[in-house]
Amino acid sequence: MTSPLRLGIAGLGTVGTGVVKIIQTHSEMLAVRSGRDITISAVSARSKTRDRGVDLSGYAWEDDPVQLAQRDDVDIFVELMGGEDGPAKAATEAAIAAGKDVITANKAMLAVHGQALAEAAEDMGRALRFEAAVAGGIPVIKALTEGLAGNEITRVLGVMNGTCNYILTRMQDAGLDYQTVFGEAEALGYLEADPTLDVGGIDAGHKLALLASIAFGTKVNFAAMELEGIEKISIEDIEQAADMGYRIKLLGVAQMTGRGLESRMSPCLVPASSPLGQLENATNMVVLQGDAVGQIVLRGAGAGEGPTASAVMSDVMDLARGTRIATFGRPAKDLIDARAAQSAAAAPFYLRLGLTDKPGALAKVAAVLGDAGISIDRMRQYGHSEPSAPVLIVTHKATRSALDEAITAMDGTGVLTAAPVAIRIEEV
């Protein structure tokens, strides 16, 4: 009879507890589906006495996750502590050195150290799996590495941070300003201890960096990603974008171009009628485009106990069945150093301006845009009170560098009453 697959779980927060619950609740089903029993040998967490709502009495306890990673009765080390460095990285390295397979939900660690960890694991003939690190319960890693392995991937894009999507959709639905909804999200426990990880686009950027590596065969390069958060998005932007048929999303886009790898996480306008435009609340969506399959849309819960634990268990089940593939879909040593694109592809832009309510103000702005080679597709002027007249412009396709040049030139016209707001419009 096949011997049991023995797990050591480091981190008993929301996700770790969820994994324990799945194994305890569905042990027979898991054994039937994988062909062997899946058991937990030992666990580790910051507090041994905390009530987590699950029975841990049948598992050995290790205060030190490194010691857990090195135990002889652990076949797979499951790292669910989080953190770019520190105990998570030390324990992961120890597990690999001890000849263990590793499953992690730690996108920050992989976005920074993924190349080195993948090479170390593959040198040892071990697996490093991370389905739970990207988009919660959505099986996007498996889709890229297995289901779409016969495709040349042309573009990856999506909404990969549920907190930001909650804030933006709540602002639109309730007509509330950013600070009010930010406070609501904080009270609901949606934000990281450092909220900048969410609203600054860092968390979602980590995820996109991992997907780009798989999609384009490149070494993970989070440092080269363009990051812009949602902190500057106003209720006026949301309402006026909606008036023109768009919704604002924190959108990640990665694509290989003749200029190099374009990889950015930033607020974008998407058509309100598109799948991304209709995405509500804390849900995630990833869109994959391949040369053979066309466009694939994956939608689901991006975080939470059940969805993320489900993703961890998908990796556990693969290893239990003997399915082993390279960390990023191809040997880590074959991944290439991608040249980062110096500028993003041209796109239409939404431009919100506050102009002095004087004759000729709009003409001066139009002239500046024309001098930068930017033409106007649509324009609206809203009701106002002196001294500022709000104007909304949608441009034809332009580069961000040309638009930034035009915005700088506008400062010298004397007709602006506030700094312009420019948001890319993404074709989806």
Q: Which residues are catalytic?
A: 207
- The token pair that represents 20 in the structure block: 């324990």
Closest residue by Cα to residue 254 from 244, 239, 264, 241 = 264
Give the Cα separation of 309 and 318 in Å (integer): 14
Distance (Å) of CA 122 to CA 140, 152, 329: 22, 24, 12
Q: What is the spatial distance between Cα 406 and Cα 276, in angstroms, rounded to a whole number?
A: 30
What is the spatial distance between Cα 162 and Cα 369, in angstroms, rounded to a whole number? 36
Closest residue by Cα to residue 343 from 218, 259, 404 = 259
Q: Among 112, 157, 69, 75, which Cα is nearest to 345's?
A: 157
**Do 304 and 156 meet the contact criterion of CB atoms below 8 Å apart?**
no
Q: Helices (H), strands (E): how many in the chain? A: 14, 16
3-state secondary structure (DSSP) of residue 261: strand
Report d(CA 220, CA 209) in Å as an integer: 6
Write out the H or E segment, with its range, that includes residue 137: none
How far is residue 203's CA from residue 170's CA, in Å, rounded to a whole number? 20
400 Cβ neighbours under 8 A, 6+ residues apart: 343, 344, 349, 422, 424
